[in-house]
């Protein structure tokens, strides 16, 4: 993607680790984060605050996520004939330097 004549303006990675890898690839391509390409990830791991530029991330409440997964597992075991129900959990966007939002 970074070799395109018009590289993306932003990359939203499936995890913070992947986002940090994307930031390294952007730098290797001679581009700058966030001036050329903004970057964000998911998980808000501790390292997200420590990399440079610091990484914008989506924070999920891990306790709520685990509880929802356990509930879904027991529902599936107790009632395998019933389709799984959707569960929507709250998230928080933590803006930092990698998206030029800070």
Apex 93 CA angle, 86 and 17, nearest 5: 90
Q: Is residue 75 part of a domain?
A: yes
pLDDT at 102: 52
Whether the model clears a pTM of 0.75, i.e. scores above it, the answer is yes
Sign (positive or negative) of CA dihedral 40, 43, 44, 46: negative
Q: Is residue 2 part of a domain?
A: no
pLDDT at 24: 97
CATH of the domain at 65: 3.40.50.2300
Strands 38-42 and 10-12: parallel
Q: pLDDT for 87-101, tens place per residue?
A: 999 999 999 999 986
Number of domains in the chain: 1
Beta bridge partners of 58: 42, 93
Look at residue 76 and give its three-state secondary structure. Answer: helix
Q: Is residue 5 part of a domain?
A: no
Domain hosting 32: range is 10-99
Q: Where are the alpha helices (DSSP H) in 1-84?
A: 16-28, 47-50, 62-78
């Amino acid at each position: 993607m970074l070799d395109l004549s018009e590289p993306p303006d932003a990359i939203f990675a499936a995890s913070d680790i992947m986002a940090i890898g994307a930031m390294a690839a952007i730098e290797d391509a001679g581009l700058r984060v966030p001036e050329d390409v903004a970057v964000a990830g998911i998980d808000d791991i501790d390292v997200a605050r420590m990399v440079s530029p610091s990484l914008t991330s989506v924070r999920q409440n891990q306790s709520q996520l685990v509880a929802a997964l356990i509930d879904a597992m027991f529902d599936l075991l107790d009632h395998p004939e019933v389709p799984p129900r959707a569960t929507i959990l709250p998230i928080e966007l933590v803006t930092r330097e990698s998206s030029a939002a800070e």
